[in-house]
Amino acid sequence: MDPVRIVHLSDLHFVPGKDMQVWNAVRDFINQTIRPHAVLITGDVTDSAEEKEFTLASQCLNSLQTQATGGDAQKFRIVAGNHDRFLYRGNHPPFGIARVLPSRWPKDKHRRFDGFFPAQQVPHNAPCDLHLFAGPGSPHQVTWKIRLLGLDSSADQKWFAQGHVNPSHIHEVCQSAAKAKDFDLVIALVHHHVLPIPSVEERKGQLEKLIDATGLLNSGTLMAALSRNQIDLVLHGHEHAPHQARFAGADELATDVALVSAGSATGDETLQGWSLNRVHFNVIELDPDRSVWLRQVEGKGAQLQFRPGRKALMTSTDLRLSRFIRRNRPLGEQSGHGEVRDVPRSRLRKTIEFKANRDVEVTESRTDWLVKPQWQQLTSSGSGFAPEEAVAHFEWADGGLDSRAALISKVNGSHDEHRLDFKAPNRNQIRQAKCVNVRWKWTAAAVYTQAELDMLPDTARQGPRGEGREFASVLCHDELKELILTVKLPSYFSPKPEDVEVYYEHPEHPGVRQHGAEFKPLLDVFGAGNLELRIRYPMPGYRYGVSWRVTDDKLDTAGLNRRLKALIDKTQAIQAFMRASLQDWSPDAQPRWDIYRFHEEQHAFVRLGMGDGAGADVYPVRDARGLIRAAAWGDAIVVEKDLANGRHEFLAAERVVSYLPLLRRDSDFGFAPALLRLSFVSNPFGQDSLRDWLEEAKFFTARIALLVAHVG
């Protein structure tokens, strides 16, 4: 995708009679070659602040064209320079005029500039907000929310070339920046240079070095304020010299500020006029990955061209840090206890491990987290069985021993979302935890192959799965310093790095995935099947995820049929083995059993009628959370009637049902060609605890699975 392009012009010095071919070349290069989305101008559009100069400047600047993608009605945005505020470059009239025409001398420095640019000017007390994006109509367009702040460094200054910004104006601009909590980029426009420019210092004489006649008198105060209030980028001009720098204040809440100076966009030089060979201006490029770059345009050989290469101004992490501080900083205020509140320091690591048997084990680890007495944990999956239990362990910051949180309830939400409600052992008070670990498991939820996707119902093939991809995601609940999503897959199903995509979902548009070009460089692949996405300063309420294409493995129908034939040939041996094993386990267990084979055309398991007639004749596979699908792609599945939520078939008096995959080799992670169904109608051991009985049934089922696989 193309970047958003912002042209930065400065020091044009329009005067009637100058070589307009220079301006025409600049205008045409901007309109036809750059095709910007916005134009920002940092002063000195006139030479002597005369009305005829403002008239010419206004006409020429309105001939610029911008891409109509951001909804800004203005062709450009501007702040004044010293040449725009001082008529004839001074506050006082030439000698003698004051006596002849004292009432006709215009002393108001604001009237002329403000009158010609009432809508385009960016004042200190009214920020301008832009929403810019490249490539209109693209489903994956990246919108930049930009706040423009204006600082007039000449309006309150007595001397012509020196600059000074009113402290109250600095305060108002900083307040506007602090309120830009969800903006991607904050830009300040000012005319005078904020930091010294080396190339300018080198050309100054001894007297100029002794007296700084052109500097910004309170630049230190301004820079400290801009840094502490997370202004990301400062654009300026004044010295007709290009320059780039970064600055960060000493305050613990200060962040880096990038400074960019432009030369004269018309190549103006005192007593020499305009020259195409001296033209210089900037193009700020905003990439889809949320990084900010600088390209420079210069005149060379009587034509305009880009300087080779781009210079990095800010990374996506720089911008996320600024936004993070803007959302969380105390705005210079103190808490009720007289201490400055700290920004959040919590980190969240979510590890999602996809097992070969299609189970998905999830662990969320938080550090430096304020734990409430009760909290909720959301978990979702479009397939498989929701967690039967979840466990939370704590390591308290005050030195308390590890303790376990109780799962007080589990609420089924929509088709694929469940809420786990916990009660923490922290005495009904918020307590600081050094580390919190929460673990749970989705049974038979993973999808590895296209054949598995084909067997899912449409309701389970939403989002990435509708595009033939499996995925893992994490929801950023709170303000975090860092979010880490770790995904582990069996090496057999490990995706190629180029097949892995990063995406995010806006909280106002859940389920609508946006390609995360900003985050793709933050994705690491550690060997086969190990992915890690590490995001510093993520946005709260956003969901971040990775997806990868499933393998193209299809069901080996011929192989399945051969193995089914071998199974049927051993029917008598299996029958004898089953009866002996069940009798051995418990004569009073009253088990029922039968074997089912996969029928490709019906996408179902059909009963072979080899056992005692338990269960239905046909079990469809197209059930996202069906026992049959889970067992066919995974391991043995055991479920108790009271925990089945009415989703699984139980015959009269049946209490526990098991499904065992048959004829699967240890090295084969694919589909089982046959299933063994076992059911138990009574408690053979007489335990009072249903859980104890269920554990016994699971143990026996696992034993039968191994022995039957050996016989088969």
Closest by Cα among 364, 456, 381, 461 to 415? 381
d(CA 45, CA 58): 9
pLDDT of residue 346 exceeding 90 = yes
CB atoms under 10 Å from CB of 555, counted, come to: 18
What are phi and psi for residue 84, nearest 5 degrees? -85, -15
> pLDDT, tens digit, for every residue of 21-40?
999 999 999 999 999 999 99
Q: What is the mean pLDDT of residues 699-712?
A: 64
| Domains in the chain: boundaries | 4-328, 347-549, 557-711
The DSSP secondary-structure symbol of 479 reads -
Mean pLDDT, residues 471-479 taken together: 93
Question: Mean pLDDT across the stretch 318-345?
Answer: 70
Sequence-separated (6 or more) residues with CB below 8 Å from residue 529: 488, 489, 490, 491, 493, 494
Pair type for strands 347-354 and 482-488 = parallel
**Domain spanning 347-549: which CATH class is it, in words?**
mainly beta
Could you tell me the two tokens for 329?
């900083």
Q: Positive or negative CA dihedral for 55, 57, 60, 61?
A: negative
Evaluate if residue 388 carries a pLDDT over 70.
Answer: yes
| Percent over 70 (pLDDT), the chain | 81
Give dist(CA 298, CA 653) in Å, integer.
87
pLDDT of 297 over the 90 cut: yes
The per-residue pLDDT for 332 is: 43
> Which runs of E-coded beta strand occur in 613-655?
618-620, 637-640
> pLDDT-derived band of residue 372, with 50, 70 and 90 as boundaries?
confident
Helix (H, G, I), strand (E, B) or coil at 295: strand
How much is the average pLDDT of 398-407?
Answer: 72
Give tens-digit pLDDT for 405-435. 777 766 665 546 788 888 877 667 888 889 9
pLDDT bucket at 540, cuts 50 / 70 / 90: very high
**Would the pLDDT of 193 be above 50?**
yes
Distances (CA, A) of 490 to 357, 365, 451, 524, 668: 10, 22, 17, 17, 12
Please give the single-letter amino acid code of residue 284.
Answer: I
Question: What local confidence, expressed as pLDDT, does residue 337 receive?
Answer: 44
Could you report the per-residue pLDDT of 639-692, keeping only the tens digit for each? 877 766 666 677 777 778 888 888 765 555 678 888 888 887 765 555 556 666
- Quick one: pLDDT at residue 251? 81
Across 458-485, average pLDDT = 92
d(CA 38, CA 40): 7
| Average pLDDT of the segment spanning 111-115 | 85
Half-sphere exposure at residue 301, Cβ-oriented, CA atoms within 13 angstroms: 2
**What is the pLDDT, as a whole number, of residue 86?**
80
Dihedral-angle region of residue 331 (phi above 0 means left; psi in -120 to 50 means alpha; beta otherwise): left
680: helix, coil or strand?
strand
DSSP 449: B
Cβ of 638: how many Cβ atoms within 10 Å?
22
CATH architecture of residue range(s) 4-328: 4-Layer Sandwich (3.60)
Interatomic CA distance for residues 69 and 130, integer angstroms? 10
Does 96 have pLDDT greater than 60?
A: no
Q: Which CATH number fits domain 557-711: 3.30.450.40, 3.30.465.10, 3.40.50.850, 2.70.50.60?
A: 3.30.450.40
Quick check: 244 and 17 in contact, CB under 8 A?
A: no
From residue 447, give the alpha-carbon distance in Å to each of 86, 302, 356, 416: 71, 62, 10, 15
d(CA 62, CA 75): 6
Mean pLDDT of 262-278: 92
What's the N-to-C CA distance of the chain in angstroms? 56
Amino acid at the residue 473:
S
Q: Are 396 and 377 in contact (CB under 8 A)?
A: no
Identical fold for domains 4-328 and 347-549, yes or no, is no
Please report the pLDDT score of residue 636 as a whole number: 78
Average pLDDT for 605-620 = 81
Please tell me the distance from the alpha carbon of residue 560 to that of residue 111, in angstroms, as a whole number.
Answer: 88
Sheet with 618-620: strands ordered across: 618-620, 604-607, 591-599, 674-680, 656-662, 637-640
Choose among 107, 23, 686: nearest CA to 299: 23
Distance, CA of 626 to CA of 606 (rounded, Å):
15
Helix (H) or strand (E) holding 561: helix 557-569
Place of tokens 């300040």: 188
Whether residue 465 contacts residue 447, with contact meaning beta carbons closer than 8 Å, is answered with yes
Closest CA relative to residue 483, chosen from 346, 320, 360? 346
State the Cα–Cα distance between residues 237 and 79, nearest whole angstrom.
11
CB proximity list for 209: less than 8 A, separation 6 or greater: 201
- Nearby residues of 650 by Cβ (< 8 Å), 6 or more positions away: 641, 644, 657, 679
Distance CA 233, CA 150 (A): 12
Indicate the average pLDDT of the chain.
Answer: 83
**Helix boundaries (H) for 295-416:** 316-328
**pLDDT of 370:** 86
Q: What pLDDT sits at residue 432?
A: 86
Residue 673: φ, ψ to 5°: -75, -15
Helix axes 571-585, 690-711, angle to 10 degrees: 150
From CA 318, how far away is CA 39, in angstroms rounded? 23
Per-residue model confidence as pLDDT tens digits over 494-507: 998 889 999 999 88
What does the chain come to in residues?
Answer: 712
- Amino acid (1-letter code) at residue 450: Q
* More reliable by pLDDT, 336 or 389: 389
Q: Quick check: helix, strand or coil at residue 112?
A: helix
> Which is more confident, 484 or 570?
484
Q: Where are the beta strands (DSSP E) in 482-626?
A: 482-488, 500-505, 513-515, 523-525, 530-536, 543-549, 591-599, 604-607, 618-620
- Give me the mean pLDDT over the 150-166 stretch: 84
* Contacts (Cβ under 8 Å, ≥6 apart) of 231: 149, 173, 174, 177, 186, 187, 188, 257
**Tokens at 536, concatenated:** 């510093």
So what's the pLDDT on residue 334?
45
Residue range 115-142: mean pLDDT, rounded? 84
